[in-house]
């Protein structure tokens, strides 16, 4: 009897102490975002949650498909379209490289989605605020691209690592294609995913294709110059 | 195994948050740390990979204070959830006194939950401990996602998959938003300290 009383007393003392220590009298952080129940990002969010450490072709394909769906819905919103373009670029890179992808890529894909969700669902967010968030993610993306290029350059030059060429001179990465990299001006222009090609007038499509070809030739020349430089330095 | 210093009247118990990767173990500790930082007055230690994943463990010590003449300290740990870190998980479980199994409620994670619970039982067995005897609390995390239309496992399925034999206390929770995070922790602390009580008299 006394033993039971002692046990109860002990338990109640522990409970009181925990109650005192962890009473939830402070305000919970409020989430100003609207719910996702009937929101077009619902599917994309589900895919984002299912992308795990084991990134598979199937989950990445689902991501790319969901991006297309959301893109269709937000066809008029250039800021959201640029966010989606960022997601697509990183998604393709991760899909192509999986475990070999730069570790920062998985973090960035989550960060871009978080910002996208905030921009899409926060009521009353001003355009400058949205643009600021987008710029931040674009800047992170560019940094990632530089790191990927640098890493690739380092791999190609294991012996003379102390003369690592600056990113601008590094060979163009094959892991992130140049035409996939959004630049800030594209936030103010119509994005150029392949699906929209058919919507262009013939002269627009021709001009677009010409720009693409120029970009490819420039990239090839840059890569060639970097290769020649590396070859000369190794002599 | 708790460290009990009868001379100094100190008790130090170790509680480990176990479960599949991306299930919310670190988020549990993060929530507790951020919300009660001013009261617990300790620092959370965390070692992460580039991808924001737990590499070794997270560690959050909590001073409960003096009870029945004993200074009681609780150490909360998490294990890395990724499959490849099995040996690290086993190492973190060494000397464990209580466990919170953080199950992921996402439908796609059903198999991972079961595999993780099996791994827990196996790792405990390697220290001659039984999962059915150690203080254990289940937390079915991410329940808030139900409101967002994300497919989740019904709680009955989680109970059947994980807790049908063990019959441990369980909580539906959202480590990200807070509901039942503290309740889970309180429950495991009470169960753990009670299990040590016989050594204190």
Question: Quick check: is A43 in a domain?
Answer: yes
Question: Quick check: is A16 in a domain?
Answer: no
Please give the pLDDT value at position A54: 57
Q: Which domain holds residue A180?
A: 37-190+197-234
Please give the pLDDT value at position A11: 81
Please give the pLDDT value at position A12: 84
From A73-87, B17-31, B137-151, the region with the lowest mean pLDDT: A73-87
Show the DSSP H helices in chain A as ranges: 2-21, 42-50, 57-73, 78-97, 103-121, 127-156, 202-234
Q: Which domain holds residue B40?
A: 3-197
Find tokens 């140049």 and name the residue: A178
Query: What is the enclosing helix (H) or strand (E) of B3?
Result: strand B3-5
Please give the pLDDT value at position B134: 96
Which residues does B contribute to its contact with A (CB < 8 Å)?
Answer: 21-22, 32, 35-36, 39-40, 49-53, 62, 64-65, 67-68, 72, 82, 106, 108, 145, 147-151, 177-178, 182, 185-186, 189-190, 193-194, 197, 201
User: In total, how many domains does chain A have?
Assistant: 1
Question: Quick check: is A10 in a domain?
Answer: no
Bridge partners for B103 per DSSP: B140
Mutate one of A16, A21, A26, A114 to test the B interface: name it (highest B CB count within 10 A): A21
Please give the pLDDT value at position A180: 44
Residue B111 has pLDDT above 90, yes or no: yes
Cβ density class A156-188: b for 16+ within 10 Å, e for less: ebeeeeeeebebeebbbbebbbeeebbeeebbe
Q: In whole angstroms, what separates CA A25 from the centre of its chain?
A: 37
Q: Give every residue of chain A whose pLDDT is below 70, as ranges.
A: 1-7, 24-39, 52-54, 155-208, 211-212, 235
Question: Quick check: is A24 in a domain?
Answer: no
Q: What is the mean pLDDT of chain B?
A: 88
Residues from chain B that touch A13, judged by Cβ atoms under 8 A, are 67-68
Question: Quick check: is A26 in a domain?
Answer: no
Question: Quick check: is A216 in a domain?
Answer: yes
Which residues does A contribute to its contact with B (CB < 8 Å)?
Answer: 6-7, 10-11, 13-15, 17-19, 21-22, 24, 26, 28, 31, 35-38, 42, 45-46, 49-50, 52-53, 103-104, 106-107, 110
Q: Report ipTM for this prediction.
A: 0.81
- B171-B156-A18 Cα angle (round to 5): 10
Question: Quick check: is A79 in a domain?
Answer: yes
Supply B71's token pair: 């200074």
User: In total, how many domains does chain B have?
Assistant: 1
Residue B133 has pLDDT above 50, yes or no: yes
The CATH number of the domain where B179 resides is what?
Answer: 3.40.50.300
Q: How far is Cα A39 from Cα A43, in angstroms, rounded to an integer?
A: 9
- The tens digit of pLDDT for each residue in B56-105 reads 667 888 888 888 888 899 999 998 877 777 888 888 899 999 999 999 99
- The tens digit of pLDDT for each residue in A155-208 reads 666 544 333 333 333 333 333 344 444 443 333 333 344 444 555 556 566 666
Please give the pLDDT value at position A178: 40
Question: Quick check: is A162 in a domain?
Answer: yes
Pairing of strands B54-67, B45-48: antiparallel
């Amino acid at each position: 009897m006394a033993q039971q009383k002692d046990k109860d007393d002990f338990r109640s003392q522990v409970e009181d102490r925990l109650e005192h220590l962890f009473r939830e009298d402070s305000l919970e952080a409020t989430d100003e975002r609207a719910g996702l129940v009937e929101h077009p990002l619902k599917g994309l969010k589900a895919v984002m949650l299912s992308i795990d450490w084991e990134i598979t072709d199937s989950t990445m394909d689902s991501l790319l498909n969901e991006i297309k769906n959301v893109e269709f819905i937000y066809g008029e919103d250039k800021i959201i379209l640029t966010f989606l373009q960022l997601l697509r670029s990183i998604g393709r890179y991760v899909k192509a490289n999986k475990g070999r992808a730069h570790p920062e890529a998985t973090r960035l894909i989550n960060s871009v989605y978080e910002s996208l969700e905030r921009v899409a669902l926060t009521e009353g967010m001003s355009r400058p605020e949205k643009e600021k968030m987008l710029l931040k993610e674009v800047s992170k993306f560019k940094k990632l691209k530089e790191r990927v290029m640098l890493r690739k350059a380092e791999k190609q030059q294991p012996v003379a690592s102390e003369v690592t060429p600056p990113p601008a001179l590094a060979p163009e990465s094959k892991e992130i294609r140049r035409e996939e990299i959004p630049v800030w001006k594209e936030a103010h222009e119509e994005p150029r995913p392949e699906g929209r090609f058919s919507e262009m007038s013939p002269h627009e499509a021709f001009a677009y294709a010409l720009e693409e070809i120029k970009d490819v030739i420039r990239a090839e020349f840059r890569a060639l110059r970097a290769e020649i430089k590396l070859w000369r330095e190794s002599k | 195994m708790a460290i009990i210093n009868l001379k100094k009247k100190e008790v130090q118990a170790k509680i480990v948050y176990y479960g599949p990767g991306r299930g919310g173990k670190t988020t549990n500790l993060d929530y507790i740390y951020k919300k009660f930082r001013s009261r617990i007055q300790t620092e959370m230690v965390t070692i992460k990979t580039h991808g924001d994943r737990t590499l070794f463990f997270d560690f959050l010590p909590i001073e409960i204070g003096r009870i029945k003449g004993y200074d009681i300290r609780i150490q909360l740990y998490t294990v890395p959830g990724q499959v490849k870190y099995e040996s690290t998980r086993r190492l973190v479980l060494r000397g464990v006194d209580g466990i919170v199994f953080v199950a992921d409620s996402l439908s796609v994670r059903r198999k991972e939950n079961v595999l993780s619970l099996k791994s827990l039982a196996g790792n405990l067995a390697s220290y001659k401990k039984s999962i059915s005897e150690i203080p254990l609390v289940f937390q079915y995390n991410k329940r808030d996602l139900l409101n967002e239309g994300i497919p989740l496992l019904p709680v009955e399925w989680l109970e059947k998959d994980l807790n049908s034999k063990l019959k441990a206390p369980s909580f539906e929770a959202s480590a990200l938003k807070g509901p039942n995070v503290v309740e889970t922790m309180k429950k495991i602390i009470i169960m753990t300290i009670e299990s040590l009580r016989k050594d204190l008299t």
